[in-house]
Amino acid sequence: MVGIDPTLRMAAQVARTLGHLTIVGLGGGALPVNFSSPQHECLVASPYWARSPNSWK
């Protein structure tokens, strides 16, 4: 999900047990994590990597 509050909230709402949420983008949002959200055993990842646009060719 893009890293802004509205899409992060939606991601937490639709996440399911044994699901996987990947936060993509630096939108400045936050995903609160507590015992009930996201679902139990749901993996949340926020990878941070990029390639130079010049290497896309």
Cα 27 to chain center, whole Å? 11
Q: Which structure tokens are listed for 27?
A: 């939108």
User: What are the domain boundaries of the chain?
Assistant: 5-50
What's the rounded mean pLDDT across residues 25-52?
Answer: 79
pLDDT in tens, 3-28: 788 988 888 888 899 998 888 877 88
pTM, two decimals, is 0.65
Q: Please name the residue that has the structure tokens 């990842």.
A: 45
**Residue 32 scores a pLDDT above 60:** yes
Cα 30 to Cα 16, 33, 54: the distances in Å are 19, 9, 31
Which residues lie closer than 8 Å to 1 by C-beta, 6 or more apart? 7, 8, 10, 11, 21, 22, 23, 24, 25
Query: Secondary structure of the chain: what % helix, strand, coil (to 5)?
Result: 25, 20, 60
